[in-house]
Amino acid sequence: MKTTTPSKLEKILAAGHLAVTSECGPPRNGRADVVEHKANLLKDHVDAINVTDNQTAVVRQCSLACCIRLRLMGLEPVLQMVTRDRNRIALQSDLLGATSFGIHNILCLTGDHQRFGDHPGSTNVFDMDSTRLIQTIRQMRDEGRLLGGYELSEGRPRMFIGAAANPFADPFEIRVLRLAKKVAAGVQFIQTQCIYNMEKFRLWMQLVRDEGLHEKVAILAGLTPMKNVGMARYMKNRVPGIDVPDEIVKRMGGVPKEQQAEEGIRICLEQIEELKQEQGVRGFHIMAIEWEEKVPEIVERAGLFPRPKVNGAQ
């Protein structure tokens, strides 16, 4: 398969390997060592590391700065970018800045509403949404033009374009249409919302395949291991757009407290095994929230280690 950018993630997918990505959330302060530490935990076991962009609308160290840090460490970042906080001027400016540091993966998101975060009285921008952001980057990269028409005769972004998809939000039948829209806009990889309801995910994948979308976009299945039954309950009841079946909560609660973390990891590993067989799943995005140290173990026990080396990757 032909690649379009210098992205290592793209090369791994193009070579037919199952990709593994993970994420690190920046701290709520200006310390330099937090992201560096998290990245060091992850770096040998994943192909690329997402950096979240003020997730849940809570102010954190900026995603771009942290991605630059990863890049300077010689790692492969995925720049998450939400359209909630910046208008088209700032977004394009950040894309050019990211390009100048050799950041070649981006995840386009609209972003959680700021009322969920720590500044509920702030304005939101939403000058564009995630689908428009995909189109914007594609235009800058492939046509060499900013939205305002200015020609990028040099220094175009060379980004492998990603986006999120949530197979569990309502209405279910619109989810595949929305994915199709992102594909039409130019998205190349998808990292899904974390999956707990396997039955619904498989149904979604079937619909994705029915539309032939699995051949147009690389779908990485999103997984978040549960630390304990409290987290399972919280995800089930409090986090919008996440579908945790009762069996999972029951299973987590069915083992003694000190064994719940291991149970959460086992569930995650069983999911990976099952998803390896699912046609169209091209890899895994393991979001171990404030639990990055468990990612290497999960990757190894899932038989996804060592990570493949690809030629020409930076």
Which residues contact other proteins (rule: CB under 8 A)? Answer: 113-115, 120-124
> How many residues in the chain?
314
| Contact by Cβ (8 Å): 94, 155 | no
Q: Half-sphere exposure of 211 toward its Cβ, with a 13 Å CA cutoff?
A: 20
Rank residues 115 and 257 by Cβ distance to other proteins and give the closer one: 115
216: tokens are 């147009």
Provide, rounded to whole angstroms, the least separation between the CB of residue 115 and other proteins: 6
111: tokens are 């972003």
202: tokens are 């498989």
Provide, rounded to whole angstroms, the least separation between the CB of residue 119 and other proteins: 9
Rank residues 121 and 256 by Cβ distance to other proteins and give the closer one: 121
Strand-strand pairing, 218-223 and 160-165: unpaired
Q: How many CB atoms lie within 10 A of CB 174?
A: 11
Rank residues 116 and 305 by Cβ distance to other proteins and give the closer one: 116
Please give the Cα distance from 216 to 23 (Å, whole number). 24
Provide, rounded to whole angstroms, the least separation between the CB of residue 117 and other proteins: 11
Rank residues 230 and 241 by Cβ distance to other proteins and give the closer one: 241
Provide, rounded to whole angstroms, the least separation between the CB of residue 84 and other proteins: 10
For 79, the 3-state DSSP assignment is: strand
Rank residues 120 and 303 by Cβ distance to other proteins and give the closer one: 120
Please give the Cα distance from 105 to 141 (Å, whole number). 12
Provide, rounded to whole angstroms, the least separation between the CB of residue 177 and other proteins: 21
